[in-house]
Amino acid sequence: MAVLLVPMTVGCTHGGGRPSGRRSDPESSASMITRRQVDSLAVRYPNAYDLIRTVRPNMFVTREVREPRPVPDGFVGNPIGVKVFLDDVFVGGTDMLRRIPSRSIIFVQHLSAPDATIRYGSGMTAGVIVITTGATRFR
124 occurs within a structural domain: yes
Q: Is the pTM of the predicted complex or chain greater than 0.75? A: no
**Rounded mean pLDDT of 60-89?**
68
Q: Report if residue 85 sits inside a domain.
A: yes
Q: Which of 111, 105, 103 is nearest to 87 (CA)?
A: 105
Q: Cα–Cα distance between 48 and 118 in angstroms, integer?
A: 24
pLDDT tens profile 40-56? 999 999 999 999 999 99
Q: Give the largest Cα separation in the chain, rounded.
A: 75
pLDDT greater than 80 at residue 10: no
Q: Which domain holds residue 113?
A: 28-64+80-139
- Which residues are registered as beta bridge partners of 92? 84
- Domains held by the chain: number: 1
Output 17 or 126, whichever has higher pLDDT: 126
What is the average pLDDT score of the chain? 77
pLDDT, residue 63, reads 59
Instruction: Report yes or no on 88 lying in a domain.
Output: yes
Is residue 37 assigned to a domain?
A: yes
Is residue 71 in some structural domain? no
Assign 3-class secondary structure to 9-52: HHHHCCCCCCCCCCCCCHHHCCCEECHHHHHHHCCCCCEHHHHH
Q: Does 72 map to a domain? A: no
Residue 135 has a pLDDT of 72
**CB neighbours (10 Å) of residue 57?**
10
Give the Cα separation of 62 and 68 in Å (integer): 13
CATH number of the CATH domain containing 131 = 2.170.130.10
